[in-house]
Amino acid sequence: MEKLGFRSIKPWKNSPMISNSSLLALLPTQASTLASDVDLITIALVLLCGAVTFGLMSAIAFFVVRYREGSVVDRSPVRGVELKLEIFWSTVPLLIFICLFVWGAERYLEMHSVPAGASEIYVTAKQWMWKFQHANGTQELGELHVPLGRPIKLVMISQDVIHSFYVPAFRMKQDVLPDRYTYTWFQATKPGKYRLFCTQFCGTEHAAMGGDIIVLPEAEFQQWASIGVSQVSLRGSGDYVKQGQTVFERHGCISCHGSDSVVRAPSLNGLYGSRVFLDNGDSLVADENYIRESVLEPEVKIVKGYENIMPSFRGQISEEEMVSLVEYLKYSKTMSIKSMEKERGGRE
């Protein structure tokens, strides 16, 4: 069993205090591209809500004092202003709310659009730890090293219950579901060590399921990546795509999905990111979840023109193998199945 650099149960005990922003220590550090945007909305909201609260409380206090029982002031009723006031204090808040809504929705949709060229890291959550797999095969447990200034896409899955991946300094959060990949992305703007929390109740040690994100400037990151603090190579093959190819051959996928015979099964060349047409008239863009579902529950989505004959591989492929298979198919744009077959044919 290779040494994996196992984290202690209470990760924050060993990490230094994270320095908070100086705003009276009320905001966490801003360490991602989106953090300052989110804080801007928050501060605007605090000012707006503070003003409204202060205004209302002052008005109430003023009225309570001025119009207290027995005070001698003018109480003659004011007429004709009711409807105007109602319309005013209905529509003005509504307009403000719409502005807030649009602002928040725009940023949110940005959070859901992964920039092109993002490096991918696979995250597996399980009770009660986080596992990270870099594209080059490096595995980390409980802490994740990332380079500064580059967009990082996280492809996440849980091995048991729902968890949630939360880094306050990045202002990012995404639930991690069993049996389905969820995605999020961030781009770190400040080197340092930032707390990672699990924030969806997941059982007894939910509170201990923490970790750290370690942001290193590019050069240091490359240095780390080549030596690594806690690094493990996968079964000797060194990178995911090659391992995925092994999985693809070992489980016999190539016998139906080899590009020479597209009669029994559709070709997988260039599958990832392409539009797939199903037999029920629907169509979709092939992503990690589609690949995963097709391997584990092939009968759910049948490609148009094909029969429902693909067997399920549930129980035969581990999560790590699934990740490598997905990676292999993603890069099959650059590495076509035909050339791979020729290779094998050549060796035999």
Contacts (CB under 8 A) with another protein, residues 115-134: 127
Among candidate residues 240, 258, 209, the one with its CA nearest the CA of residue 328: 240
Angle, alpha carbons 174-178-183 (nearest 5°): 35
Residue selected from 202, 215, 317, 322 as contacting another protein according to rule CB under 8 A? 202
Which residues are 32's β-sheet partners? 188
Strand partners, 172: 167
| CA trace torsion 214, 216, 220, 225 (10° rounding) | 50
CB of 218 or CB of 282, closer to another protein: 282
List the interface residues with another protein, window 294-313 (CB under 8 A): 297-300, 308, 311-312
3 state DSSP class of 150:
coil
What's the min distance (Å) between Cβ of 325 and another protein?
Answer: 19
Among 47, 56, 219, 284, binds another protein (CB under 8 A): 56
264 binds another protein (CB under 8 A): no
133, 320 Cβ separation under 8 angstroms: yes
Residue of 195, 174, 192, 191 lying closest to 183 (CA atoms): 174
Q: Minimum distance from CB of 347 to another protein (Å)?
A: 34
Identity of the residue, 105 or 229, whose beta carbon is nearer to another protein in the bound complex: 105
> Counting contacts by CB under 8 A, is residue 74 touching another protein?
yes
Q: Which of 6, 8, 47, 67 binds another protein (CB under 8 A)?
A: 67
Alpha-carbon gap, residue 262 to 245, rounded angstroms:
19
According to the binding rule CB under 8 A, does residue 201 interact with another protein? yes
**332 binds another protein per the rule CB under 8 A:** no
Half-sphere exposure of 51 (CA within 13 A, CB side): 5
Instruction: Answer yes or no: are the C-beta atoms of 4 and 232 closer than 8 Å.
Output: yes
Per-residue x/- track, 140-169, another protein (CB under 8 A): --------------------xxx-x-x-xx
Under rule CB under 8 A, residue 261 binds another protein: no
Q: CB nearer to another protein: give 28 or 266.
A: 28
Structure tokens at 311: 């067997």
Region near another protein per CB under 8 A, out of 190-198, 213-221, 227-235, 250-258:
190-198
69 binds another protein (CB under 8 A): yes
- Residue 252 contacts another protein per CB under 8 A: no
Beta strands of 177-267 (E only): which ranges? Answer: 182-187, 192-198, 211-216
Please identify, using beta-carbon distances, which residue of 126 and 145 lies nearer to another protein: 126
Q: Toward another protein, which CB reaches closer, 1 or 23?
A: 23
- Asked whether the beta carbons of 253 and 271 are under 8 A apart, the reply is no
H or E segment and range at residue 130? strand 129-134
User: How many residues contact another protein, by CB under 8 A?
Assistant: 92
Q: Is 319 in the site for another protein (CB under 8 A)?
A: no
Starting at the edge strand found earlier in the chain, the sheet holding 192-198 runs 143-147, 211-216, 192-198, 163-167, 172-176
Q: Which is nearer to another protein, 135 or 162 (CB)?
A: 162
Q: Which tokens hold the place of 272?
A: 């990832």
The answer to whether residue 200 forms part of the interface with another protein (CB under 8 A) is yes
Residue 331 CA to chain centroid, in angstroms?
Answer: 21
- Taking CB under 8 A as the criterion, the residue among 6, 47, 207, 226 binding another protein is 207
Question: For residues 18-37, which are near another protein according to CB under 8 A?
Answer: 18, 20, 25-28, 34, 37
